[in-house]
């Protein structure tokens, strides 16, 4: 398995009930995990409009809001749904193994 296919254990599935988010640290930066109706998604934690943690925001359905200026993003696609944000969040592959949430950061190297 090359670096682009490597998954990292980031949290227990029990730490992320449906309708909630969880910020986790990875080598390249913070990632926001979101549980939407039992399916876990992973996106960059920082709002693309200004540097504000999306973990501070609220998850409603598949949309997470930024507390700084009110932009909302789909955690499924990463797309901004409201201005002022216009740039999408980066999304990451997620898998669940033995009750653990694993994320593949793509071309980022583990440190």
How many domains, the chain? 1
Helix (H, G, I), strand (E, B) or coil at 107: coil
User: Average pLDDT of the chain?
Assistant: 91
Residue 96, in any domain of the structure = yes
Residue 47 lies in a domain: yes
**CA torsion angle for 52, 53, 56, 60 (degrees, to 10)?**
100
List the CATH number of the domain containing 21: 2.102.10.10
CA distance 68 to 36: 23
Tell me, what's the pLDDT at 111? 32
Which residue shows structure tokens 């949309």?
A: 63
- Examine residue 79 and state whether it is found in any structural domain, yes or no: yes
Nearest 5°: the CA angle 85, 45, 39 is 105
Per-residue pLDDT of the chain (111 residues; tens, 9 = 90+): 444 479 999 999 999 999 999 999 998 899 999 999 999 999 999 999 988 999 999 999 999 999 989 999 999 999 999 899 999 999 999 999 999 999 998 754 433
pTM comes to: 0.90
Domain that holds residue 18: 3-103
Q: pLDDT by residue (tens digit) across 73-102?
A: 999 999 999 899 999 999 999 999 999 999
Read off the tokens for 40: 């876990």
Q: Is 108 within the bounds of a domain?
A: no
* Paired tokens of 58: 């609220």
Q: In sequence order, which ranges of the chain are alpha helices (DSSP H)? A: none
From 108, 100, 94, select the one nearest 43 (Cα to Cα).
94
């Amino acid at each position: 398995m090359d670096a682009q296919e490597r998954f990292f254990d980031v949290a227990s599935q029990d730490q992320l009930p449906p309708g909630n988010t969880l910020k986790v640290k990875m080598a390249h930066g913070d990632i926001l995990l979101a549980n939407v109706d039992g399916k876990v998604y992973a996106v960059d934690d920082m709002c693309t409009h200004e540097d504000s943690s999306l973990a501070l925001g609220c998850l409603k359905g598949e949309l997470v809001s930024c507390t700084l200026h009110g932009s909302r993003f789909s955690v499924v696609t990463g797309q901004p749904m409201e201005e002022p944000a216009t740039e999408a969040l980066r999304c990451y592959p997620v898998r669940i193994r033995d009750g653990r949430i694993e994320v593949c950061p793509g071309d980022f190297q583990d440190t």
